[in-house]
Amino acid sequence: MLSSSRAEFALRDPSALSALLSYDWRARQILTDAELLGEGRYEPAVEGDADSLLRPLQRLGFVKPLHGVRPHGGRMRLWSLGDVLKIQIAADLRQVSDMSVNACVRHLRADEGAAVAAALSQWQSHAGAPGDHCAALRLRFEGLPTLPEGETLAEFAHCSVARFVHRNRFDTVERPAFLA
């Protein structure tokens, strides 16, 4: 991720933001709405119905967008990779459980967010690793009579993040030196 002083500068300076956005989102680890939702020429980064999740997840304080200044004026909404991963975890839990967004967020926060935080802290370890190690676990979660809790919730979040990293092929993008 960008250091905070670099990120603040890039988001406040329209030409710096334009230069930053010329790189692949996997390298810069900040996504535009179009990249997140798959609008125009972009494939959606998040699997599932992210469009219907964004506003409720923002309202609940689960994710918080960044705002950048456009060259011609106005602001654009941007998403940090950490928040995008949280959106993916919530989308996966919602798909498996058929619960409301509010209930999914309450469930993910039940352990003070430890399962989600652990999954987010290890996301880079999945780049370049085999992508099928969570397939059996994913099948086990389909049609669960109860929601995953404790260690099972941590495994669920971990696999959700791993699937996101594999699906978006983070191993194929080289980061520019100034983003390191």
For residue 9, is pLDDT > 80? no
Local confidence band at 146 (pLDDT 50, 70, 90 cut-offs) = low
What's the average model confidence in pLDDT over 121-145?
68
**Confidence check: pLDDT of 53 > 70:** yes
Q: Per residue in 55-107, pLDDT tens?
A: 999 999 999 999 998 888 889 999 999 999 999 999 999 888 888 999 999 99
- For 170, the token pair is 């983070």
Q: Where are the domains of the chain?
A: 4-168
Phi, psi of 27 (to 5 degrees): -80, -40
Does residue 132 have a pLDDT over 60?
A: yes
Name the 3-class secondary structure at 74.
coil
- pLDDT (0 to 100) of residue 143: 60
The length of the chain is 180
SS3 track for 100-124: CHHHHHHHHCCCCCHHHHHHHHCHH
pLDDT of residue 1: 45
The whole-model pTM stands at 0.86
- 25-35 residue pLDDT tens: 999 899 999 99
Of the chain, the percentage scoring pLDDT greater than 90 comes to: 38
| pLDDT at residue 131, as a whole number | 61
Which pLDDT does position 84 carry in this prediction?
A: 97
pLDDT value at residue 135: 61
